[in-house]
Structure 1
Amino acid sequence: MTGRSGVRRVCTGVVLAVALALVGVVGVPAAGWAADGSGGSGASGRDAARAWPVGGPDGVLRRFEPPPKPWAAGHRGVDLAAAPGAEVRAAAAGVVTFSGLVAGRPVVTVAHPGSGTPPLRTTYLPVTGTLPVGTAVTAGQVIGRLAPDGRHCGAHDCLHWGLLRGGRYLDPLALLGAGRARLLPLGGAGA
């Protein structure tokens, strides 16, 4: 690397590295998963698949609306139209880590190993789980059935689908390439 072109490549790489270190991106939770969703380290093609938990893109009733502060109001997931009794599927390969009641409502949680640190988790409610905790699932595998619950979507029946990395909520539609990305301030979220 001699001459101006070598210096230009080094400078471009340094600028890019600094920019990536200073700017956080929310709504692109697949960080840690390769572009094909495989986890980037020899995971099988089966792990690369994604699936709509119910329906498809036409069934989105309400999108992810992150709160301005962690304690503030917002919509920490996506509402998908579905009728009580509908089969609910895992959005990506993982392991069922919770299936039970939270605040009187049935919830299923699937952790997605190989998706980064800490691993991503998808949540599904109100869903009565049909698999025991510890069960490995593939994308599109049925994990439960939608329970009747008129509290979240009002006049509509729906599945509330969430995505978290640690305690931070992300846009679950990003798993399917349909999420929104937004740049955070230089100091990170809430700065």
Structure 2
Amino acid sequence: MGGIGAVGVVGVGAVGVAGSGGEAGRGGARAWPVGGPDGVLGRFEPPAKVWAAGHRGVDLAASPGAEVRAAAPGVVTFSGPVAGRPVVTVSHPGSGSPPLRTTYLPVTGTVPVGTPVTAGQTIGLLAPDGRHCAGRDCLHWGLLRGNRYLDPLALFGAGTARLLPLDSGDG
């Protein structure tokens, strides 16, 4: 008889960046995509329901043309337009199952899909797009495991913590 039997924490340090193998999985190098922690303009605010409004990433101060860097080692798995905006996605093998992915928008990719990248390596340039950060330009940085959005700041041991029910599996 399955049920809700325990509570787990998702967010601060519990994103699952510690995994089995791969530099990202072992807590390897990290780099701010642009600037640093003082440049956070908007924080991760997960929606109450998957379909509800929320902020599924972190906004970082940056100007058009700024170099955008991979936050952790991985492989560029997507570079192209999504809903009219340029996006780059880096997958992080060895970060769990399914592997973590970081997303960067609006970013015009400068690295071909399939290219391995290191933390801090330039993956693109910030494109002009004043639609997201209240009329100013910024980088929207996301973190996903499968289809589930997580707080990218957890890659640095900070971020939003939420208590979620876990299925105990034994009732």
**Is the TM value for this pair above 0.5?**
yes
Amino acid corresponding to residue 90 of structure 1 in structure 2: A
**Alpha-carbon displacement from aligned partner over 1:10-36 (angstroms, at most 9, x marks no partner):** xxxxxxxxxxx72222214541x43xx
**Alpha-carbon displacement from aligned partner over 1:41-79 (angstroms, at most 9, x marks no partner):** 4759x9710000000111000000000000000000000
> Larger helix proportion, structure 1 or 2?
1
Across the aligned residues of Structure 1 and Structure 2, the Cα RMSD in angstroms comes to: 2.3
Query: Number of matched residues?
Result: 163
Structure 2 counterpart of 1:56, from 9, 12, 36: 36
Distance 1:29 1:164 in 2: 13
Q: TM-score, normalised by structure 2?
A: 0.88
1:75 aligns with 2:55: yes
Gaps of 5+ in 2: none
1:26 aligns with 2:10: yes
Bigger relative contact order, structure 1 or 2 (CA pairs below 8 A, ≥6 apart): 2
Distance 1:30 1:154 in 2: 29
Secondary structure of the residue aligned to 2:133 is coil
> Larger strand proportion, structure 1 or 2?
2
Gaps of 5+ in 1: 1-20
Stretches of 4+ moved more than 2 A in 1? 39-44, 185-188
- Alignment CA distance shift 1:42-1:73 (3 Å): closer
Aligned to 2:100: 120
Q: CA deviation at 1:154?
A: 2.2
Tell whether the 8 Å contact from 1:67 to 1:73 is kept in structure 2 after alignment.
yes
Tell whether the 8 Å contact from 1:47 to 1:138 is kept in structure 2 after alignment.
no
Q: TM-score, normalised by structure 1?
A: 0.79
